[in-house]
Amino acid sequence: MAELGTGTGCSLACLVAAFERHATPDQRLHYVGFENDPTMLDWWRDPASRTLVPPSERAALEAILARPIRSTQGVARWRLLDGRATVTLVLGDAARWLPNFSFLADAWFLDAYEPAIETMLWTREVLGHVARLTRAAGTASTFSAAGAVRTGLDAAGFDVQRVAGFDTKRHMTVATRRSGAAASCIQPWFTPPPAANPERVTILGTGLAGAWCARAFAERCARVTVIDPQRSAPRASDVPLAAAAQPDGSWQSEQVRVHDAAWHLLADRCVDLGVPHRLLPITTLAGPTSRMALIASPRELIHALLDHPLIQVTDRASHEGCVVHATAFSTPALDGTVCSRAQPTPNGGSIGQIQLANALDTAIMHEGYALPCADGVHAWIGATNHPGVWAASPHDVATHPMRIQPETASLEAITERLLGASHPVMASWSGTRAASLDHLPMVGPVADDGAFTRAYRAIKHGPMAQAWPPCSYATGQWCSIGHGSHGMLTAPLAADLIADLAFGTPRSITDELLSFLLPQRFALRDLKRARD
């Protein structure tokens, strides 16, 4: 289901309630709503307004109102009814955001106001995108019975009918999509694979990337086997306390845009799952910022994510169903694929625990970082992004951050200025992260490198050089690797992206951001630079 103008969330609440009443346990609801003004949901916070909702629909409304909602433009994603209903709420001008999404809705709730009142939602461009995003024989309806609405829908490709309205409305409009959807705007080399609807999934790796993937597939009814590999070195996810920071920097940067989407998804997912986490404001050495950090224990998070009846963790090798490589680095199994030409490289990191001189209620981030523990007495301080250096011994105090990090001056400044001068290290952790070449993870279906090269070799002559085939992928192979020091932030986004692609369900990120995450982006860059 999709909606133009989520507004107060009334239609959404009624939809969720109807789904709860009528759907069978294996059915899933995906709702995508576009709304310019997130404060519209506040209307219901006045108890008098709530009495306007029929009692049978109130529980769904309460579940929606309990959700924190982002105050900036972008996507919010909520899972309701134990994950059976997924709400993707795109906040911002629909005219701007619609062109950057690709999904196929069975039905649309169009705006209730006619063009004379709400011009922006009835333009030819907007209705063209509504048609593009509707299945053949999918429907659209609106309380408006204005002639311009009917002509606009007809021109966009719908068969339109004026039918009896509800309540005080004498008429309303219903419309049926005449043919299949037009092609999406995604470039051929980034075209997603056809939906595979896997019933069984094997996930290699039980770090944050693997655990988030396992949960995302289990929520979509797949049986998941997670393989816990024999480990010789500590994993990134074994770090005792981790933070995901809201990004800082220009929106021109794709990393900032991906990290912003990832941060909001992580915050939404932690609320969905009820996992222990804290939100603290970020301070730098220059002073407080308006950004927040989400702080949690990765081990606790992984434990909560894997605690699901459809998830089984084993150390026995198995490759049932589709396989997700969540192994941080590219493994020999990915040799010959586009992943093998852009191997993530190891980055070292280490953190030490110190006793606080004064209570700390912010996350300090300045090259290195300091995160207060929940006990209010201790903090973890360090840096986990040291290219090319990693510690052989996981718990070696000699490798604690004050000794091995080039950011030592910064860490000393953090401890002295903000925590007090005395900082004996009481415990420490060090390990490696797998960083990709452009510091964004490699996420999605895996294409064969030779086939990709053959299909797009002529791309160096420009995207208009010829008509291109859609990208083809090695069947059933997926990856979520190269998260670097940002796995806490990007692993949930990667997991939702993979599961949404595997099931053909609406994605929580724009089509543009997809192109910064798919692993073939490195192969494409090489082909563009290649000489004859």
Residue 108 engages ligand SAM in binding (rule: CB under 6 A): no
- One of 1, 8, 263, 474 touching ligand SAM (CB under 6 A): 8
In whole angstroms, give the CA distance from residue 379 to residue 396. Answer: 18
Residue 377 φ then ψ, to 5°: -110, -25
- One of 58, 59, 93, 240 touching ligand SAM (CB under 6 A): 93
- One of 32, 36, 213, 257 touching ligand SAM (CB under 6 A): 36
In whole angstroms, give the CA distance from residue 128 to residue 118. Answer: 17
Part of the chain binding ligand SAM (CB under 6 A), chosen from 91-99, 366-374, 391-399, 446-454: 91-99
Residue 125 engages ligand SAM in binding (rule: CB under 6 A): no
**Minimum distance of ligand SAM from residue 126's CB (angstroms):** 8
**Minimum distance of ligand SAM from residue 91's CB (angstroms):** 8
> CB-based contacts of 493: which residues, under 8 Å, 6+ apart?
258, 261, 262, 265, 266, 443, 508, 509
Residue 50 engages ligand SAM in binding (rule: CB under 6 A): no
Residue 342 engages ligand SAM in binding (rule: CB under 6 A): no
State the first-to-last Cα distance of the chain, in angstroms, to the nearest integer. Answer: 49
> CB-based contacts of 62: which residues, under 8 Å, 6+ apart?
none
Part of the chain binding ligand SAM (CB under 6 A), chosen from 66-74, 108-116, 445-453, 499-507: 108-116
Residue 530 φ then ψ, to 5°: -65, 145
Residue 95 engages ligand SAM in binding (rule: CB under 6 A): yes
Nearer to ligand SAM, 7 or 519 (CB): 7
**Minimum distance of ligand SAM from residue 528's CB (angstroms):** 35
Q: How far is CA 475 from CA 203, 221, 443, 502, in A?
A: 15, 20, 15, 11
**Minimum distance of ligand SAM from residue 14's CB (angstroms):** 8
Q: In this chain, which residue has its C-beta nearest to ligand SAM? A: 5
The letter for the amino acid at 395 is H
Nearer to ligand SAM, 51 or 253 (CB): 51
Q: Exposure string (b/e) for 134-163, b if CB count within 10 Å is 16 or more?
A: beeebbbbbbbbbeebbebbeebbbebeee
Residue 40 engages ligand SAM in binding (rule: CB under 6 A): yes
Token pair for residue 70?
């982002």
Residue 206 engages ligand SAM in binding (rule: CB under 6 A): no
- One of 1, 7, 239, 404 touching ligand SAM (CB under 6 A): 7
**Minimum distance of ligand SAM from residue 57's CB (angstroms):** 11
In whole angstroms, give the CA distance from residue 238 to residue 297. Answer: 9
**Minimum distance of ligand SAM from residue 8's CB (angstroms):** 4
**Minimum distance of ligand SAM from residue 183's CB (angstroms):** 24
Residue 500 engages ligand SAM in binding (rule: CB under 6 A): no
Residue 134 engages ligand SAM in binding (rule: CB under 6 A): no
Residue 121 engages ligand SAM in binding (rule: CB under 6 A): yes
Nearer to ligand SAM, 26 or 46 (CB): 46
Part of the chain binding ligand SAM (CB under 6 A), chosen from 8-16, 163-171, 182-190, 197-205: 8-16
Question: Kind and range of the H or E element at 522?
Answer: helix 521-529
In whole angstroms, give the CA distance from residue 294 to residue 266. Answer: 8
**Minimum distance of ligand SAM from residue 73's CB (angstroms):** 11
349 near 383, Cβ under 8 Å? yes
In whole angstroms, give the CA distance from residue 188 to residue 447. Answer: 13
In whole angstroms, give the CA distance from residue 496 to residue 521. Answer: 19
Q: Exposure string (b/e) for 42-78, b if CB count within 10 Å is 16 or more?
A: eebeeeeeeeebeeebeebbebbeebebbeeebbbbb
- Residues in contact with ligand SAM by CB under 6 A are 5, 7-8, 10-11, 34-37, 40, 93-95, 109, 111-113, 118, 120-121
